A = this chain, B = another copy of it.
Amino acid sequence: MKDYLENINKAFESRVRLGIMSVLMVEERVDFSTLKETLELTDGNLASHLRALEEASYLVVEKKFVGRKPNTTYQATDQGREAFKNHLDALEQLILNNRKEG
């Protein structure tokens, strides 16, 4: 496979995951409801993508109580930040290649 295609990370293939990582690259720690509102997703859809990114070690989850209410927050790992940067670089290569040859 062309190298720039090979560097495109399957873990970030869906736009939901692109959205999640984009938010986590900017905000140090983000809670579930903020992600849900920002990305306009259902609970189930967001939860499944978050779980996949967690399993890939690209984000970590913290569960605690704020007063009596449970609060779940997410934070990108260094590995996640690095992988996402590489993914964006590969997408940029794809774009440049297309424009050069297009």
Contact residues of A with B, CB < 8 Å? 1-2, 5, 8, 10, 13-15, 18-19, 22, 25-26, 38-41, 84, 88, 91-92, 94-95, 97-99, 101-102
| A5→B18 contact, CB < 8 A | yes
| A39→B5 contact, CB < 8 A | yes
How long is the Cα–Cα vector from A41 to B98 in the complex, in angstroms?
A: 20
Q: Tell me whether chain A's interface is mostly helix, strand or loop, or mixed.
A: helix
Residues of B close to A8: CB separation below 8 A: 15, 18
Residues of B close to A92: CB separation below 8 A: 92, 95
Residues of B close to A13: CB separation below 8 A: 13-15
How long is the Cα–Cα vector from A94 to B94 in the complex, in angstroms?
A: 14
